[in-house]
Structure 1
């Protein structure tokens, strides 16, 4: 009997053999997104980029902590790798034959659970020629390039664990020819000239940041530097190639500190160390890059457009500070940012959120395919459909009508305060809203996020947000909604 007990104790305390880290974090939309076996704390990205040839070369150093005993681990990356070192020792590596963009690293010796590791990847390639799953996120422009996209873009310029649940801090240092600029997230620490004809730009992001929110923009930008009223660095950049829309772009993006000041009254304090924006003709969308959203020049063809600025900066709270736990949770990003457009419109005297929600609701007939997309789980093919944005925003107005203004804004502010720096799921938000409001909200969210068909609204509906009379500036609301739908932002 004693011998048997001793055997059990010995077996239970034996160390498990090192094993490969998983090739993904289990996201049902993107099975190979992110990686298992380690948690990244910091990326140091040091690159040189030549716009004339589109050659990107350099080194990324990754600081991470192992979460299991590892015999090997994966990095999400598509460029050609010259060498990899793990804790200063050369490591073997190969591309997973089952999945392009999945780099498998085998260190010289196994890695114990719970230790900090240093991974140094040296690489060089032409990103615009790299295709992963039939797609190229790198956007070559006439005088540079844009590393801007969602849900993936990092694989074209730095190796990473590419999923929003693995956030990290960043140092991004990029050397480019003197006649172009290199922009990224956070604070511009310095610029140096280490050789004739070349300038190196140093950017630092000190708050946790998801990989798809890390961006790089190289080109002949007009750059403006100042500070916000509360003393944060404010850097904006405009590509003159947007032509006649340049002044309209400036009239919109230069108001970012004012817009963020307003959004802070709705969502709580601005969560990051810097603000700004980049406008380029090389995009067809806008993206909420952390601290410095990037906009297509198309948004400003009809004049100033502060709605898109409000949308992308609302993401600094919903999507950036609090990131989605799975890509199916995209409503937590887009529904909230779209609702911020309603709040900003009211602030500008262009209709209340209730009026705007009613207008959008009336715009889609019951038999429209719009009502067949589920904002709470739209599927990969419909992840960025209008329904995620517009029905998603209507869901929030339905919530506001149901719980009242005091509870609604307490929910928004407290949600950000309690989850910033991390990630969360829709189910968590529903439970959180029920706790703060003291009401059962299961039926409301099931109807608006997870049930096909046009919900009933009005006195006998799920959430009566119909406003009395026509919205203020009805034509303006209609025009704004249509222009955003024509060039849908992320």
Structure 2
């Protein structure tokens, strides 16, 4: 073997005047079988003796291998672990349809030296040697990938690609495997007979990425990894034999489930290099328990379940097998091949299909290892949520390659000719957050200082002219406020790039100064407490546009629709409303009502908040849209969205009243919009059931298609309706609509507590699933949210500095999972859903803090749960339930305690207290012990479906 595992595929990097494709080739083909039992030798290696090119046999032992003319004088080596290597001359006999039979090669130790070997001892030695044998640094790989899916013997998806892989060892949300498809092809398959079914069963979520997730040595701590020592108790591990491969001995271990073990999910056969303890090969196949687990938990989650209902078909696994091999490069071993074979049955009464066989083969072959000058990809990264069938492109090129059959020495430094680097934007490096610190400007923006708390805004009248040609706005905002304490100096807010023409107090012009984005307005005399005053700020400028490299960076989106018409939207939740209009830009102060007038060119429609009162001609070729919001509204919710819209109406009639609903969509999406919005009334019914009456009935409920989704009060933006998107399953519509209750009807006082908006709205998505499809579907929906939790920063932000420009994803997902956990801590759905309605009623049309909400929850439930919310909101770590299990005869001894950041953490949690039955235990931070009658270790589970925690076995 060459010291450098460095192979590349022909035609991969054609450059300059190379004409490699015109070189003459000879094609070898054949089948490799076991000489004794005539079974195929799966994934046997076929390569040139003196060259670095080769291929491997498929699951049937078959191969095709093309060799360039210059290599014809070489010899062919056929090898596989456990078999004697065969050397064949390329000049002897027929090279087509060869029948190659391999003799087993068992290396028997002399009788006098045979000892009983401890299988688990060998396995544990292999695991402890991983840091020495297996490269635990990031690595760059080139690989061939093939996906082949058949239904009843007919191909329904066949694609191949060359992959450039950035493979990590220490994986996190921001540092994970990346795949770039260098070249790909797929076979054209006719799905016209049943496009809905074929699209569902042929497009598997990116199997190239999931193949990398099979790396046993990388994911040692994975819950069901056979190398996770927690799982050893479910298996027996026996040393069977020593086999010879080349000049090394390989120890063969058989890992088998213990009798009646329901948690042993696979049978496995491992080959371990005797001299070093390095893992060379692992073969696995699911047990019946494994098949049952996969069918219940691993078929694609909530998306799969929903599509199964829509398509009216089921796809159930009957067999899964996996072969992983590792090869040495220099002093370390690296992933070499991953071969996955899946068998399923498809059933559909609608189609009269019963147990129709579905087979999928997924092969990854690493052809190049590079450990030097590694940089992550900045562009061209394959989407891990899309299928490979979608990602590789549309054409099937017969000159591309056939099997793993045209492998050539790498072109000189081919992978290093272009390096893609990630250059963070300057702004992204300068934004204020925990890492970069905060400035005086952040305090001016985020602090409720005396110059702000001295007055309370009661009404805004915003009158703005939007000019799409110059991307500018000009207007005026009248601010009516109540004087809380006497003052003659107040703070307003308007971004420094926006020009203030004048500020009028009646007919009198007021003096003002500016610092950063703050505006300090001086009155000629002290205003008395209790008085109602009005000022008008006249201004103009070009508002900022969003920089999507900066989290929560807002501005005006100057977009175009699919027909080239202007499509303009204001989004400013994070950056603040003062980026486009002057106001008291602090979440604690909402006007009681607001008038919004937006003037736009004729020919487009403008949608803001509340109800449209009238449209008025405004000069030459302009129209003013006059809106009135009759409820309190937070500043970032005030908005405009401008485009050539189609408009239709509906009404939601409930026991409470009749609610008018207005829909605005692009004309070319009118029918899609009608289909999508058919779910709105059931959604409103679900939310009213759990949260109480829709909070803004006077203003009605408006949903509009928009460049960007955003929860603008009574004018909810849902993003773009795209061709091919699911119209019957739109969590974005649910989420943004739920904000009418959570974020609009009640709002946080400081953006650091924005989890009150986002956690409840994200949880509402799961409740919508529960309302429409049952509790189990809600649980499945929540389970998928776990994959999106980062646990890098606390859910709550830093107070008084407008802390928002960071990854706030945990406010959504971790917050939602926290709420669901609290539901099951209460263990009383009547109490839980009454609590949600009571929160809405108690705080409606008010702003509140996290502490105020938690205090109310404790008061309402008559229990102090402060410790619960502090752990989930103020710390990054999940509470960890530490357990110790020990069987005593027919009983199971369970020791348990919490490890948490909050002292006195004492959350009850459900575990199996009898076979098949969950019950509560009440851990504290001190060890406790109970005996569970008539239970084995195999029977024990912690209810992680309903409690978002970590579980660690001591």
How far apart are the structure 2 equivalents of 1:105 and 1:394? Answer: 45
Give runs of aligned pairs for residues 263-412 of structure 1, distance below 5 A: 263-273=687-697, 274-281=700-707, 283=708, 286-297=709-720, 302-304=725-727, 305-349=729-773, 351-361=776-786, 363=787, 370-377=790-797, 380=803, 385-403=808-826, 404-412=828-836
Q: CA deviation at 1:382?
A: 6.8
1:58, CA displacement in angstroms?
2.1
| Structure 2 counterpart SS, 1:343 | helix
Worse-matched range after superposition: 217-226 or 371-380: 371-380
Q: What is the CA–CA distance in structure 2 between the aligned matches of 1:127 and 1:358, rounded to whole Å?
A: 40
Determine the structure 2 residue equivalent to 1:118: 534
C-alpha separation in 1, matches of 2:817 and 2:444: 26
Which range moved further: 53-62 or 320-329?
Answer: 53-62
The verdict on how the C-alpha distance between 1:37 and 1:276 changes in structure 2, with shifts beyond 3 A counting, is same
Bigger drift between 48-57 and 251-260 goes to 251-260
Indicate conservation of the 8 Å contact 1:354/1:466, yes or no.
Answer: no
Q: 1:70–1:301: structure 2 CA closer, same or farther, 3 Å change rule?
A: farther
Residue 636 of structure 2 is matched in structure 1 by 212
Q: CA deviation at 1:465?
A: 7.3
Q: After superposing the two structures, state which structure 1 stretch, 312-321 or 147-156, moved more.
A: 147-156
Deviation at 1:51, TM superposition (A): 1.6
1:42 aligns with 2:465: no
Q: Which has the higher helix share?
A: 1
In structure 2, the CA distance between the partners of 1:425 and 1:129, relative to structure 1 (3 Å rule), is closer
Does 2:513 match 1:90? Answer: no
Tell me the CA shift for residue 167 of structure 1. 0.7
Once the two structures are TM-superposed, the CA of residue 222 in structure 1 deviates from its matched residue by 2.2
8 Å contact kept, 2:554–2:573: no
User: Distance between the aligned counterparts of 2:615 and 2:876, measured in 1?
Assistant: 53
Distance 1:28 1:57 in 2: 25
1:171 paired residue number: 595
- Asked if 2 retains the 8 angstrom alpha-carbon contact of 1:130 and 1:156, the reply is no
Distance 2:861 2:448 in 1: 38
Q: Does 1:231 align with 2:658?
A: yes
Q: What is the TM-score with the length of structure 1 in the denominator?
A: 0.79
CA distance in 1 between partners of 2:520 and 2:486 (Å): 16
Range 51-60 or range 252-261, more displaced: 252-261
Alignment correspondent of 1:190: 614
Correspondence for 2:573: 150
Retained in 2: the 8 A contact 1:371–1:452?
A: yes
Alpha-carbon distance change, 381 to 323 in structure 1, aligned in 2, over 3 angstroms: closer
Q: Distance in 2 between matches of 1:29 and 1:57?
A: 23
**What corresponds to 2:500 in structure 1?**
81
Unmatched segments (≥5 aa) in structure 1: 1-23, 470-490
Shift of 1:193: 2.3
1:409: how far off? 1.1
CA distance in 1 between partners of 2:743 and 2:443 (Å) = 17
1:221 to 631, 636, 645: 645
Alpha-carbon contact 1:458-1:464 (below 8 Å) kept: no
Correspondent of 2:476 among 59, 81, 94: 59
SS across alignment from 1:447: helix
Contact 1:87 1:117 in 2 (8 A): no
- Closer/same/farther in 2, CA of residues 394 and 41 from structure 1, 3 Å limit: same
Distance, in Å, in 1 between the alignment partners of 2:852 and 2:463 is: 38
1:152–1:162 CA contact under 8 A, matched in 2 = no
The residue matched to 1:207 in structure 2 has which SS?
A: coil
Residue-by-residue CA offset, 1:307-340 (whole Å, 9 max, x unaligned): 1111111111111111002111111111111110
Aligned length: 430
| 239 and 262 in structure 1: CA distance in 2 versus 1, 3 angstrom threshold | same
Distance 2:546 2:720 in 1: 26
- 2:555 aligned partner: 137
**CA deviation string 1:70-100 (max 9, x = no partner):** 222121113212111113321112322xx2x
Paired with 2:473 and 2:856, the residues of 1 have a C-alpha distance of 45
Deviation at 1:248, TM superposition (A): 4.5
Does 1:428 find its partner at 2:852?
Answer: yes
The alpha-carbon distance between structure 1 residues 146 and 458, as it changes in their structure 2 partners (threshold 3 A), is farther
The answer (yes or no) to whether the contact 2:713–2:740 under 8 Å persists in 1 is: yes
Does 68-77 or 350-359 show the bigger shift? 350-359
Shift of 1:102: 1.3
Structure 1 residues 239-268: Cα deviation after superposition (integer angstroms, max 9, x where no partner): 45xx7x775455334533431222010001
Question: Secondary structure of 2:632's match?
Answer: strand
Query: What do residues 85-139 of structure 1 show as CA deviations (whole Å, max 9, x unaligned)?
Result: 113321112322xx2x2122122333222211111112222224899xx966222
How far apart are the structure 2 equivalents of 1:127 and 1:65? 29
Consecutive unaligned residues of structure 2, counting only runs of 5 or more, are 1-439, 561-565, 884-895, 899-906, 918-954
- Structure 1 450/153 Cα, relative in aligned 2: closer, same or farther at 3 Å? closer
CA drift at 1:448: 2.1
Give the equivalent residue in structure 1 for 2:392.
none
**Cα contact 2:556–2:568 (8 A) shared by 1:** yes
Work out whether residues 614 and 626 of structure 2, in 8 Å CA contact, stay in contact via their aligned partners in 1.
Answer: yes
- Contact 1:410-1:436 within 8 A present in 2 as well: no
Q: Spell out, residue by residue over 1:143-197, the C-alpha distance to the aligned partner (whole angstroms, 9 max, x if none).
A: 1532222123422332111122111111111221111111100111111225452
35 and 231 in structure 1: CA distance in 2 versus 1, 3 angstrom threshold: same
Instruction: Tell me the distance in 1 between the aligned counterparts of 2:793 and 2:819.
Output: 17
Identify the residue that residue 473 of structure 1 maps to in structure 2: none
Q: TM-score, normalised by structure 2?
A: 0.42
- DSSP 3-state at the match of 2:705: strand
CA–CA distance in 2 between the matches of 1:199 and 1:357? 46
Distance 1:130 1:102 in 2: 20
User: Does structure 1 conserve the Cα–Cα contact (< 8 Å) formed by 2:445 and 2:586?
Assistant: no
User: What SS does structure 1 have at the residue aligned with 2:782?
Assistant: helix
Q: Is the 8 A contact 1:54 1:128 kept in 2?
A: no
Residues 374, 206 of structure 1: alpha-carbon distance in 2 compared, 3 angstrom cutoff: same
Alpha-carbon distance, 1:27 to partner = 7.3
Q: Flag as ranges the 4+ runs of structure 1 deviating above 6 A.
A: 24-29, 457-461, 465-469
Deviation at 1:391, TM superposition (A): 1.1
Q: Which residue of 1 aligns with 2:676?
A: 252
Change (3 A) 1:127 1:181: same
Alpha carbons of 1:247 and 1:373: their partners in 2 closer, same or farther (altered >3 Å)? farther
Aligned equivalents of 2:757 and 2:777: distance in 1?
21
The structure whose RCO (Cα within 8 Å, separation 6+) is larger is: 1
CA distance in 2, matches of 1:458, 1:433: 28
Q: Is the 8 A contact 2:663 2:702 kept in 1?
A: yes
